[in-house]
Amino acid sequence: MLIFGLVIAALLGPLYVFLNLERRSLQRYAIGSATAVAGAAITPLVMGRCGFTEGTSGVDHLLSLTLMWGAAWIALIALRSFFDRADGKAKASAAMAGEIRTGGYRMGWWVPWVLLSPTLLILVVFLYYPAFRTFTLSTKLTKLGAPRSIDVCFGNFTELLILNPAKLVAYPLIAIAVIYGARFWMNHSGPGTWSRKGADVASVVGMLAIFVAMYLMFSPGGGGQVDYRDVYVNTLIITVGIVAFGMIGGLAVAYLAFRKIRGGSAYRTLLIWPYAISPAVAGVLFFMIFDPTAGIFTHGMDVVFGIDVPNYRESAMLAQGSIILASGWKILGYNILFYLAGLQTVSTDQIEAAVIDGASSWQRFYKIVMPALSPITFFLLVTNLVYAFFEVYATVDFMTKGAPAGKTSIAIYEIIRVGVNNGDLGRGAAQSVLLFAAVIAITLWQFRTTGSKVSYGGA
Amino acid sequence: MAEGLTPGVKKRTFFRGRQWTFHLALSVTAFVIAFPLLYAALIATQTNTEIFAFQLTPGSALKSNFDAVWFGRDFAGAMWNSTVQAILVTTGKTILSLLAGLAFVYFKFRGKWIVFFLVLVTLMMPTEVMILAMFRFVSEIGWQDSMAAITVPFLASATGAFLFRQHFANLPAELLEASQIDGASPIQFLTKVLIPLSWNVIAALFVIQFVYTWNMFLWPSLIIRDESKQVVQVALQTLTNIDGALTYGPLMLAAIIASIPPAIIFVLMQKPFMSGFAIGQQK
């Protein structure tokens, strides 16, 4: 099986060279092949051959192979940027390193390194090293505070997945096929036709297919497996809820507030201050509002509408809804802030022209304002997603602590519950790796779409 | 046609509706957004009895609630810890980011793109995804319950480094030549020329980092177990239980007190914050 993985990698190398390099030669195919094999060999060298030993399941083999080919692919990307530089194209790497200005100091080669050393030291010690440790931890069965640990290879991961290797391969492939199918359809349909509308629908279905495929790949629990589908679905509901509420609300309020009006800056301050409120305090404030015995919400519903609201911590829907409301409220200020800044840049000439053409206010908003705001919308989408993944931890901890029955236990909360509260570091680390993969996917998507190098929120 | 472009008509068409409708709508929105905080402020003055009676006027317990928070639970100590943490992290991050920006823009050196890449990649490495490994590692080096544990790991910032890099790159190139003719060292160039031209960006970064650090919850809740060393966001948790019962007043008061420093900084520095962002967004 190990040999099989290396052979495939040896074939992947030349294929990658063929697809991605403009100048190809026999030598380069050979180097590509060697790089892919070297990349693929790294994971068995680091982890041992544990995924392929006797008694391991098909899922273990599959994960081992995926990891090997993933490493091979990363090695090939590095090779490509090297060749691009050699070719003078320097497209990817130089654009990234952004040689914005030539010239500068002519001093010892060590001067810039001294300037960068504090930053690099901290990044390596407190980000790269813990990231590496997360991966090694994820292959172990180790208890918090216990010195000994047992290697379990992919055991912590297979627990989270369904145990059918064929399905694990098929689901993502089907999702990818749907996406590329939709893209193909899109490219072969004229604008404004019914066919294009069908293609639009298909591309949305393609996006959804990824999420459905992931749902199907996660284990539904039982038989010593972890019910990770539940965590996945709850994280998805709460994340989508917060992002949708925060962004739609933010845009609506900003659209109301950006007009020139007397006292405008005072209103603005009154609208965006929740930016400074912490997720923990947001949790405390809404904990009070929704409190089943003393909260104004429960009391108000009873007095005004005669509705007897059940304890929000005992109903999955209410618990998730209250987390969404508290977190959405907290992120609202941030979104309003950026949408206000964005609305200042919308061309008033265009809006005036649209008014003269008799466009309704909704049409003006939909056809002019929204497209002009799309870069900000995209930026906010990514920051809101990251917020919903991580910062919401504190809100959950104050409001529901994951209740009822883990229905508000989002991925990060589950990691702490398993890793710290249960002291099961290895299992927690394996879940961390999954979340890490999600963050990387989102960030790469961001880089790809905007080509932007700067992020403004968080650390 | 000509009439449609005169300023008076422009105003009417662009800002449809009467001014007072906007005033009304904005006031209502501001009230709805402020409601959770206003409600908490009301509760903060009340005793549990008053709260359960849903009394909508200020209660009688502000003083005793404050005593319970400030003296009963040493909330002052937690506020102090958070202040020290936020100032150390913010200052350190700014200095390190300035130095990194200087190196990225005004020096040419071998391996620059590798360094750039190393810093860039950390944008997709939030601390939270490696929090268990970090917890174990920082415990191993014996930093539990120390200020170092909640400051040092956060001193480097890819966001900051890129923000200054972007800003410096947009400054005129002649600045460097002039300072070189004057014989200034890179550090003198940084302190005498670049920093005075960067206050907006520094202020923007200061606000973001101060709020981020002050509001940090998960990491201190893991690594700090000694209550006297705890930061304010986590200290709130101890207030959910006073003398074995849930007393809402002190908790709400504490939540409000904990929000004052970042709120003041944010409101006071709003202008430079926004213009600093505008610089960052040019590209």
B3 pLDDT more than 50: no
Chain A nearest CA to B72, separation (Å): 19
Which pLDDT band, with edges at 50, 70 and 90, does B277 fall under? low
Which pLDDT band, with edges at 50, 70 and 90, does A53 fall under? confident
Q: Which residues contact A8 (CB under 8 A, 6 or more apart)?
A: A65, A69
Q: Select, from the ranges A219-228, A256-265, B239-248, the one with the highest average predicted confidence (pLDDT).
A: A219-228
In A94-133, the residues whose Cβ lies within 8 Å of chain B are 94, 96-98, 100-105, 107, 109, 111-113, 115-116, 118-123, 126-133
Which pLDDT band, with edges at 50, 70 and 90, does A411 fall under? very high
Q: Which CATH architecture has domain B74-241+258-280?
A: Orthogonal Bundle (1.10)
DSSP B82-135: HHHHHHHHHHHHHHHHHHHHHHHHHB--TTHHHHHHHHHHGGG--GGGGHHHHH
Chain A nearest CA to B145, separation (Å): 16
Greatest pairwise CA separation for chain A in angstroms? 81
The structure tokens listed for B68 are 């319970």
List the single residue in A with minimal CA-CA distance to B53.
A294
* Selected residue with higher pLDDT from B113 and A400: A400
> Is the Cβ pair B159, A455 closer than 8 Å?
yes
Residue A451 has a pLDDT of 52
Q: Please, what is the average pLDDT of chain B?
A: 86
Q: Which residues on chain A are in Cβ contact (under 8 Å) with B259?
A: 276-278, 281
> Is the Cβ pair A127, B122 closer than 8 Å?
yes
For chain A, what are the domain ranges? 1-96, 230-450
Residue A101 has a pLDDT of 53
Q: Report how many Cβ contacts below 8 Å link chain A to chain B.
A: 325
Q: Which residues on chain B are in Cβ contact (under 8 Å) with A119?
A: 96-97, 99-100, 119, 156-157, 161
| Helix B19-43 with A316-343: angle, nearest 10 deg | 130
> Is the Cβ pair A420, B233 closer than 8 Å?
no
Assess B129–A contact: CB distance below 8 Å, yes or no. yes
Assess A257–B contact: CB distance below 8 Å, yes or no. yes
> Is the Cβ pair B176, A103 closer than 8 Å?
yes
> Which residue shows structure tokens 């200005």?
A101
Out of B39, B128, B266, whose CB is closest to A273?
Answer: B266
Residue A103 has a pLDDT of 54
Q: How far apart are CA B177 and CA A78, in angstroms?
A: 36
> Is the Cβ pair B130, A440 closer than 8 Å?
no
* Selected residue with higher pLDDT from A20 and B243: A20
> Is the Cβ pair B133, A130 closer than 8 Å?
yes
Contact by Cβ (8 Å): A65, A6: no
List the single residue in B with minimal CA-CA distance to A435.
B129
Q: CATH top-level class for A230-450?
A: mainly alpha
User: Tell me: the pLDDT tens digits for A161-199?
Assistant: 998 889 999 999 999 999 888 888 888 887 778 888 888
Residue A261, judged by CB atoms within 10 A of its CB (0-12, 13-18, 19+), counts as middle
Residue A89 has a pLDDT of 59
A441 pLDDT more than 80: yes
List the single residue in A with minimal CA-CA distance to B174.
A104
Contact by Cβ (8 Å): A58, A26: no
For chain B, what are the domain ranges? 74-241+258-280
Residue A126 has a pLDDT of 95
- The pTM (predicted TM-score) of the whole model is 0.88
Q: Which residues on chain A are in Cβ contact (under 8 Å) with B40?
A: 284-285, 288
Which pLDDT band, with edges at 50, 70 and 90, does A459 fall under? very low
> Which residue shows structure tokens 């069908």?
A198
Q: Please, what is the average pLDDT of chain A?
A: 86
Out of B117, B129, B136, whose CB is closest to A435?
Answer: B129
* Selected residue with higher pLDDT from A145 and A276: A276
Contact by Cβ (8 Å): B96, B157: yes
User: Tell me: the pLDDT tens digits for B49-68?
Assistant: 888 888 888 988 899 999 88
User: Tell me: the pLDDT tens digits for A285-326?
Assistant: 999 999 988 888 888 888 888 888 888 888 999 999 999 999
Residue A456 has a pLDDT of 38
Q: How far apart are CA A49 and CA A70, in angstroms?
A: 16
To test the contact with chain B by mutation, choose from A77, A102, A126 the residue with the greatest count of B C-beta atoms within 10 A, namely A126
Assess B235–A contact: CB distance below 8 Å, yes or no. no
To test the contact with chain A by mutation, choose from B26, B95, B236 the residue with the greatest count of A C-beta atoms within 10 A, namely B26
Residue B147 has a pLDDT of 96
Q: How far is CA A5 from the centre of its chain?
A: 29
What's the rounded mean pLDDT across residues A132-150? 87
User: Tell me: the pLDDT tens digits for B101-112?
Assistant: 999 888 888 888
B271 pLDDT more than 90: no
User: Tell me: the pLDDT tens digits for A78-123?
Assistant: 888 788 777 765 544 444 445 555 457 777 788 889 999 999 999 9
Q: Which residues on chain A are in Cβ contact (under 8 Å) with B117?
A: 93, 96-97
To test the contact with chain B by mutation, choose from A278, A335, A421 the residue with the greatest count of B C-beta atoms within 10 A, namely A278
| Residue of A296, A246, A295 whose CA lies nearest to A274 | A246
Q: In chain A, what percentage of residues exceed pLDDT 90?
A: 40
Out of B16, B214, B278, whose CB is closest to A361?
Answer: B16
Q: Which residues on chain B are in Cβ contact (under 8 Å) with A348?
A: 14
A452 pLDDT more than 50: no
The structure tokens listed for B175 are 């600045």
What's the rounded mean pLDDT across residues A219-237? 92
Which pLDDT band, with edges at 50, 70 and 90, does A450 fall under? low
Residue A438 has a pLDDT of 92
Report in angstroms the alpha-carbon separations of A55 from A59, A169, A373, A431: 11, 21, 55, 24
